[in-house]
Homo-oligomer: A and B are copies of this chain.
Amino acid sequence: MEPYIHKVHYYETDKMQITHHSNYIRFMEEARVDFLEKVGYGFDRMEADGLVSPVVGVTCDYKKTTTFAQEIAIAVSVLRCSSFKLVLGYTMTVEGKVVANGTSSHCFMDTNGKFVSLETFYPELYKTLLTYMPENK
Query: Nearest-CB distance from A46 to chain B (Å)?
Result: 12
A9 at the binding interface (Cβ < 8 Å): yes
A68 at the binding interface (Cβ < 8 Å): yes
- Check B14–A10 contact: CB distance below 8 A: yes
The answer for the CA separation of A44 and B124 in the assembled complex, in Å, is: 41
A80 at the binding interface (Cβ < 8 Å): no
- Check A33–B10 contact: CB distance below 8 A: yes
> Footprint of B on A, CB under 8 Å?
9-11, 13-17, 20-23, 25-26, 29-30, 33, 42-44, 54-62, 65, 67-69
Query: Nearest-CB distance from A128 to chain B (Å)?
Result: 20
Selected contact of A14 from candidates B11, B25, B60, CB within 8 Å: B11
- Check B62–A60 contact: CB distance below 8 A: no
- Check A30–B59 contact: CB distance below 8 A: no
The answer for the CA separation of A16 and B43 in the assembled complex, in Å, is: 12
Chain B residues with CB under 8 Å of A9's CB are: 26, 29-30, 33
Query: Nearest-CB distance from A107 to chain B (Å)?
Result: 10
